[in-house]
Amino acid sequence: MRIESIEIQDFRQYRNLLFKFPHSNGENDLHIIFANNGVGKTNVLNAITWCLYDTEMHLGDKNTALAILNNQKVQELRMHIPDGGNAIGDATVRILLSSDDGSEKIRFQRVGKFNVTSEAVIPVNTEFSIMHFIDGEWNSIDSEEETLSLVKKNVPEEIHEYIFFDGEHLESYFKAGQFENIKNGIEELTQAKIIEKAETAFNNYLTGVLNPQIANSSVKDISAAQKELDKIQEAIDIAISSIQTLTTQIHNCDDEIARLDNIISGHIHVSEKTARLKEVDALIESLKGDIIKKKAELMVFAREYIQYFALYPSIKNLYAYIQEQDKQGKLPPRIDKFLLQAIEEHKHCLICDQDLSDHSYSFIQELRKELEVSSETSALLNKSVVVLRQYLDKLSHYQERRIALIEEEKELRRQCAEYLEEEKQLNIYLMNIPNTEAVTKAIEEKQKYRKTRDEIVAKKGVEEEHKKVLENQYYKQSKSLQLLIDKNKQLEKISKQADYCKMCRNVLKETRLDLLEESRREMEQETFDTFTQLLWKKDSFSKVEILEDYTFRLLDKYGSQTLGSCSAAERALLALSFTLALQKVSMHDSLLFIDTPIGRVDQDNRLNFVKTLCEIAKTKQVILTFTPVEYDDKVATALQDQYASFNRLTIEDGITIIK
């Protein structure tokens, strides 16, 4: 069904306004209402929901809002009210729905009556009526049951938010707290609510009537067994509730982790990189200190060898002279006189560890005498040869030491350069993050949520095992109770009724769960198919999931939750895709009325979203409201020749009119 017309009389700023939404074959069933803020676009939505459900679904603050009755109408009535008197004013809204071929039409009308005094406008009551056009004639629907049935069939209140949207609702469709609405919508449109009511009725009769009769039996064993069974059932119910709560908590953790991932936005190693930057800065400072020390060492080395090279000719000549004198035997033997003195005193050779013979002892004595009579110059030369050899040895290793010191300095500079480059890259990485501190905090929070999630998963596992134990106890206790009842003819009838109620309850529960599971899976696929078909950014997402607690998941091509990082336009498109899927799966094909659809969509995606709405309008009625800010030149060009009607609203003397 589609809206053919909306007639509004004396409702808020409307005195007498008629919206017509014509549609011809071959054109988009797209209709535009254009107006400045404050003119009354949103009140068109309020007029519709007031007419259908006797409530304004899109009112801002209901406590401070003016009365529904038009203010000019109120002033006109007050002009004719005598002192202390009153008058009755009417506000009327009529909505005409029709099938695509026009063979069936339904006119909904609500008239609100208001008691007007000189000081107040007080609602009195509303009168709701329906006219049904079918088989070529109009029929008045008098039965309240049939009236409610027609509303529920065509525009059920339970799913009004899947028909009448505002832009903010589209954007916040999948935010926290909205999943209960998704659950209600699915259960309502799949008729699972009806099955649940029947299931609840059987369960209430079982637990509220039959079980208490057995528990209050005069037979003590039966009474005790039933009470124990009720106690186990109560524990099972608590366990089920606990499992459901823990499941929701797990999904909440998943949502928070996804939200934090969105904050981190690919910068998962920020905390590590921040710590690494501090470490690199410390290493750079240490290396700079080492380089300064190495340069000082090179300077000391250079100064030392300048002296060596200056003295080299003299050292070389002196060493050669000493060597020549040594060859000629003019130098004393290079014997340690203190060692000889010790050997002579102990008459024991300290080198070969043997006592001296008389001959050896005499030789040592003679050798000491020779050393004592050596010339002073020869002795000095003999001592100098060691020092000279050390100088020459140092000079021979000059090149080796020089290269080693230079290479060591180069290595220190190379390491420092590498760390400086790493420092540069780390700073670039961190500077490109809008708020490094916030990202670091997000990573820390994410770790906490993961830890919390693991703890909750463990608790859920324990609770599930506990539930299995309880269910096993329930089964055994049920058999024990049944055996006791079988021996008591007085309770036979009640027992059969209880068994029948259990069977019906369980069948209904299994049917409901199977229906919901099948519907959830079907809607997952249908939502994803529609989403990817209408999506302008292809190949970014891999799957839509609707979990058992109706938490929504949009997975990217890597299988990660990405709903939190989607743009407002993508979230709005996903909401529309889910709505279309919900309507298709439930075979409840309805129109879409969207107030300011692109008000919160960024400029880059506005045209894409408008084109998507045009695609949807090829298969169903779409009514859109725009402000001048939204309906800019680009949007106007994109919608040119795409709509079937265009209603421009303006306000004159406080009354909204179609211009």
**CATH number of the structural domain spanning residue 114:** 3.40.50.300
Say how far apart CA 577 and CA 170 lie, in whole Å. Answer: 11
363 occurs within a structural domain = no
Say how far apart CA 171 and CA 166 lie, in whole Å. Answer: 9
Region 413-437: mean pLDDT is 81
pLDDT (tens digit per residue) in 173-218: 666 556 666 777 777 767 788 898 999 999 899 888 888 888 888 8
User: Is there a single domain that holds both residue 41 and residue 101?
Assistant: yes
Q: Mean pLDDT for the chain?
A: 83
CA-based nearest residue to 1, from 52, 74, 65, 62: 52
User: Is there a single domain that holds both residue 214 and residue 78?
Assistant: no
Give Cα 574 to chain centroid, integer Å.
16
441 occurs within a structural domain = no
Question: What pLDDT does 622 receive?
Answer: 93
Question: What pLDDT does 172 receive?
Answer: 65
Out of 482, 504, 526, pick the residue that ends a domain. Answer: 504
Residue type at position 168? E
Query: What band does 329 get if pLDDT is binned at 50, 70 and 90?
Result: low
Q: Which two tokens stand for residue 239?
A: 């366990």
Share of the chain above pLDDT 90, in %: 26
Q: Which two tokens stand for residue 461?
A: 């596992």
Say how far apart CA 172 and CA 104 lie, in whole Å. Answer: 35
User: Is there a single domain that holds both residue 206 and residue 315?
Assistant: no
Say how far apart CA 356 and CA 646 lie, in whole Å. Answer: 133
Region 340-365: mean pLDDT is 77
pLDDT (tens digit per residue) in 500-535: 998 999 999 999 888 888 888 888 898 888 888 877
515 occurs within a structural domain = no
Domain assignment of residue 293, given as a range:
272-332+374-431
User: Is there a single domain that holds both residue 38 and residue 108?
Assistant: yes
Residue 457's SS3 state is helix
171 occurs within a structural domain = no
Asked whether 460 and 243 are in contact (CB, 8 A), the reply is yes
User: Is there a single domain that holds both residue 143 and residue 36?
Assistant: yes
Out of 504, 523, 541, pick the residue that ends a domain. Answer: 504
Say how far apart CA 185 and CA 583 lie, in whole Å. Answer: 10
Say how far apart CA 585 and CA 566 lie, in whole Å. Answer: 25
Give the chain's domain count: 3
User: Is there a single domain that holds both residue 414 and residue 488?
Assistant: no
User: Is there a single domain that holds both residue 279 and residue 400?
Assistant: yes
User: Is there a single domain that holds both residue 248 and residue 380?
Assistant: no
Q: Which long-range contacts (CB under 8 A, 24 or more apart) does 541-547 make?
A: 544/574, 546/182, 546/186, 546/520, 547/251
360 occurs within a structural domain = no
Question: What pLDDT does 50 receive?
Answer: 93
555 occurs within a structural domain = no
Region 591-620: mean pLDDT is 84
Query: What band does 301 get if pLDDT is binned at 50, 70 and 90?
Result: confident
Question: What pLDDT does 486 receive?
Answer: 82
pLDDT (tens digit per residue) in 540-562: 788 888 887 777 888 877 777 77
User: Is there a single domain that holds both residue 248 and residue 310?
Assistant: no
* Listed range (110-119, 249-258, 296-305, 376-385) with the worst mean pLDDT: 376-385
Residues 6 or more apart in contact with residue 317 via CB below 8 angstroms: none
Out of 382, 403, 431, pick the residue that ends a domain. Answer: 431
Residue 636: in which H helix or E strand, if any?
Answer: helix 633-639
* CATH number for position 407: 1.10.287
Question: What pLDDT does 488 receive?
Answer: 81
368 occurs within a structural domain = no
Say how far apart CA 563 and CA 574 lie, in whole Å. Answer: 9
Say how far apart CA 576 and CA 559 lie, in whole Å. Answer: 22
Share of the chain above pLDDT 70, in %: 88
User: Is there a single domain that holds both residue 37 and residue 14?
Assistant: yes
Question: What pLDDT does 73 receive?
Answer: 93
Residues 6 or more apart in contact with residue 75 via CB below 8 angstroms: none
Say how far apart CA 46 and CA 625 lie, in whole Å. Answer: 13
User: Is there a single domain that holds both residue 224 and residue 281?
Assistant: no
577 occurs within a structural domain = no
Tokens 């899927």 belong to residue: 581
Composition of the chain by helix, strand, coil, percent to 5: 60, 15, 25
* Listed range (162-166, 232-236, 442-446) with the worst mean pLDDT: 162-166
Question: What pLDDT does 313 receive?
Answer: 80
Question: For strand 354-355 and strand 105-116, is the pairing parallel, antiparallel, or unpaired?
Answer: unpaired
Question: What pLDDT does 7 receive?
Answer: 96
* Listed range (345-354, 365-374, 531-540, 564-573) with the worst mean pLDDT: 365-374
Question: What pLDDT does 414 receive?
Answer: 92
User: Is there a single domain that holds both residue 417 and residue 327?
Assistant: yes
